[in-house]
């Protein structure tokens, strides 16, 4: 496995792969890898000749009061996990390599970034869209792999790729979960033992919503109320949002007529967790 720290370095490597007609798969991450990331790697491994993983804690997608500084980082551990899972090249640039002095360009996907995590984290998706555009241009992958845990992010990136005519196929992969249902996240390490226990309420509430839908409930507000009350039954949980929106436009819905996204963000102590489920009608 190769570790590249600079754009020139990985650029030269990619160029030589292109000459050999190798297909390239990119797994963009912020590191501190968990089984969710490794699922993406295994998927990429099956589809492409060469698997590139980027590891970059992107400052521009964090708000001023968010956890950029304290976000967990461990490149040594990540390298070992990545190699074991089948990564060929890690691209792990410093912040100055990605955002040199005088950097002033941004990429914005409008409307679908005004809701859910976009409303809760202003500027977050601009940061995501910009860094992903950069990574696509640097790595020039045939395919890129993203987890459905950030479902809105997947929709933003698919929109970006379509609108800007970026020649990359976006593959989204189901959420990886702990045995008790908690969605895997690098931020789970922040949870105290009691918060970790309490956080089980998230996947449980999503499952209950799907049950209601299976039982024929179609009233969006009714389903939403059920999820809210389930989460509110957990004293350590503080709800940021619980919403049900259309796919792929994330529009408001009154009645469930087609598959829709049930998405939520909930804080446990200082740790903000997200989870979601595509409600199938």
Least distance CB 162 / a copy of itself (angstroms): 8
What is the distance between the alpha carbons of residues 230 and 173, in angstroms, rounded to a whole number?
Answer: 27
Q: Which residues are annotated as a binding site for (R)-pantoate?
A: 61, 153
What is the distance between the alpha carbons of residues 281 and 270, in angstroms, rounded to a whole number?
Answer: 35
What is the distance between the alpha carbons of residues 174 and 275, in angstroms, rounded to a whole number?
Answer: 12
Among residues 14, 24, 37, 38, which one is catalytic? Answer: 37
Site for a copy of itself in 96-125 (CB under 8 A): 102-112
Residues in the chain: 281
Cα of 176 vs its chain's centroid, Å: 12
Q: Which residues are annotated as a binding site?
A: 30-37, 61, 147-150, 153, 176, 184-187
Catalytic annotation present for 124: no
Which is nearest to 152 in space by CA: 180, 124, 185?
124
Q: Cβ contacts of residue 202 below 8 Å, gap of 6+? A: 181, 182, 183, 231, 264, 266, 273, 275
Q: Which of 160, 220, 261, 274 binds a copy of itself (CB under 8 A)?
A: 160
Site for a copy of itself in 1-30 (CB under 8 A): 7, 11
Q: Which residues are annotated as a binding site for ATP?
A: 30-37, 147-150, 176, 184-187
Site string for a copy of itself, 120-149 (x = CB under 8 A): ---------xx--xx--xx-x---------
Question: Measured from the CB atom, is 156 or 274 closer to a copy of itself?
Answer: 156
Q: Which of 12, 95, 164, 281 binds a copy of itself (CB under 8 A)?
A: 164
**89 bridge partner residues:** 2, 52
Least distance CB 262 / a copy of itself (angstroms): 22
Question: Measured from the CB atom, is 64 or 69 closer to a copy of itself?
Answer: 64
Among the residue ranges 38-46, 160-168, 206-214, 217-225, the one whose residues contact a copy of itself (CB under 8 A): 160-168
Query: Residue 141: is it exposed, middle or buried by C-beta count within 10 angstroms (0-12/13-18/19+)?
Result: buried
Catalogue the active-site residues. 37
């Amino acid at each position: 496995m190769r570790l590249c720290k600079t754009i020139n370095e990985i650029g030269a490597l990619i160029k030589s792969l292109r000459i050999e007609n190798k297909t390239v798969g990119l797994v963009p991450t912020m590191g501190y890898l968990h089984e969710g990331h490794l699922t993406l790697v295994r998927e990429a491994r099956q589809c492409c000749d060469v698997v590139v993983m980027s590891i970059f804690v992107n400052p521009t997608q964090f708000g001023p009061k968010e956890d950029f500084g304290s976000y967990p980082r461990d490149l040594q551990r990540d390298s070992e996990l990545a190699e074991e899972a089948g990564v060929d090249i890690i691209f792990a640039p410093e912040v100055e390599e990605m955002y040199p002095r005088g950097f002033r360009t941004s990429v914005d996907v409008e409307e679908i970034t005004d809701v859910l995590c976009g409303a809760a984290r202003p500027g977050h998706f601009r940061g995501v869209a910009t860094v992903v555009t950069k990574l696509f241009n640097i790595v020039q992958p045939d395919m890129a792999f993203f987890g459905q845990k950030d479902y809105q992010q997947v929709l933003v990136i698919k929109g970006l790729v379509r609108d800007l005519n970026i020649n990359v196929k976006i593959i989204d992969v189901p959420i990886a979960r702990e045995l008790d249902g908690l969605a895997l996240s690098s931020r789970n390490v922040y949870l105290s033992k009691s918060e970790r226990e309490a956080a089980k309420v998230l996947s449980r509430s999503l499952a209950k919503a799907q049950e209601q839908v299976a039982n024929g409930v179609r009233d969006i507000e009714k389903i939403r109320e059920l999820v809210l009350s389930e989460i509110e039954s957990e004293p350590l949980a503080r709800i940021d949002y619980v919403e049900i929106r259309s796919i792929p436009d994330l529009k408001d819905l009154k009645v469930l007529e087609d598959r829709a996204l049930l998405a939520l963000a909930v804080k446990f102590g200082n740790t903000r967790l997200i989870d979601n489920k595509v409600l199938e009608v």
